[in-house]
Amino acid sequence: MKCTTYKSHRVFTADTMGCCSGRCTLIFICTLQLVLALERQVFDFLGYQWAPILANFFHIIIVILGLFGTIQYRPRYIVVYTVWAAIWVAWNVFIICFYLEVGGLSKDSDLLTFNISAHHSWWSEHGPGCVRREMPQAPGVHTTESHSYITVMGCFVDYQYIEVMHSGAQILVALLGFVYACYVVSAITEEEDSFDFIGGFDPFPLYHVNEKSSHLLLKPMYPST
């Protein structure tokens, strides 16, 4: 009976810690991060931005790991998610500096494509209000490759600011995830420590003590002759 009591105590407190604390909030944040990461991955694929594509791929894997750890009460997985959240913030700060050309960086460089291609952000030609026109080469110009010049006009917002807003949203959500992940890890750890202190993981000594006492009480008494 003691063992059953302690197990039910653990389940009750764990469920109470679940939705009454930051656990459900962290689940919502991880889900939101997955949606934002998949949206960003699509546009990075369209723009052939290979460095962001790889970063988004690892980000999606770690967020899924953190989501699994939050649902299954696995603090180690949540710790991995917490460390990655800090790295993800640093990566998005770099992206902001890249597009704002801070610290000698240039948004016109091929750094994000690993110098494989000369592609730039998909938003540079398909931003809100942008009109894309292709201008063929002049008849007297002969080159080894046939390229057409592309002009973009009428954009409501420059593409670098769109990328900055994307990275800013990623930073905000990652910071929220970092804070709530630390809280959830602390809550789960305290719950496990209190459960160990009660003796929930070692019910057998109590069971044997009760069995022994019951055996003593039920032992028949024979009159001496």
Query: pLDDT (tens digit, 9 = 90+) per residue, 144-190?
Result: 444 556 777 778 899 999 999 999 999 999 999 999 999 999 988 88
Whole-model pTM: value is 0.73
List the one residue out of 88, 86, 110 whose CA is nearest residue 98: 110
**pLDDT of the residue at 21:** 75
End-to-end CA distance of the chain: 39
pLDDT score at 6 = 38
- The dihedral sign for the CA sequence 110, 116, 118, 123: negative
Q: What percent of the chain has pLDDT over 70?
A: 70
Is the pLDDT at 7 greater than 60, yes or no? no
For the chain, percent of residues with pLDDT exceeding 90: 49
Longest dimension (CA), the chain: 131
Q: Residue 132 pairs with which residues in a beta bridge?
A: 152
Q: Which amino acid is at 36?
A: L
Q: Give the span between the Cα atoms of 16 and 10, in whole angstroms.
A: 10
Q: Say how far apart CA 128 and CA 155 lie, in whole Å.
A: 6
More confident residue, 98 or 1: 98
Q: What is the pLDDT of residues 12-36, one digit of tens each?
A: 344 444 444 789 999 999 999 999 9
Q: What angle do CA 139, 142, 146 make, to 5 degrees?
A: 90
Question: What is the amino acid identity at position 221?
Answer: M
In this predicted structure, what is the pLDDT of residue 181? Answer: 96
| Residue-level pLDDT at 79 | 96
Task: Please state, in angstroms and rounded to a whole number, the distance separating the CA atoms of residues 148 and 133.
Answer: 10
What separation in angstroms does the CA of 157 have from each of 95, 127, 162?
18, 7, 7
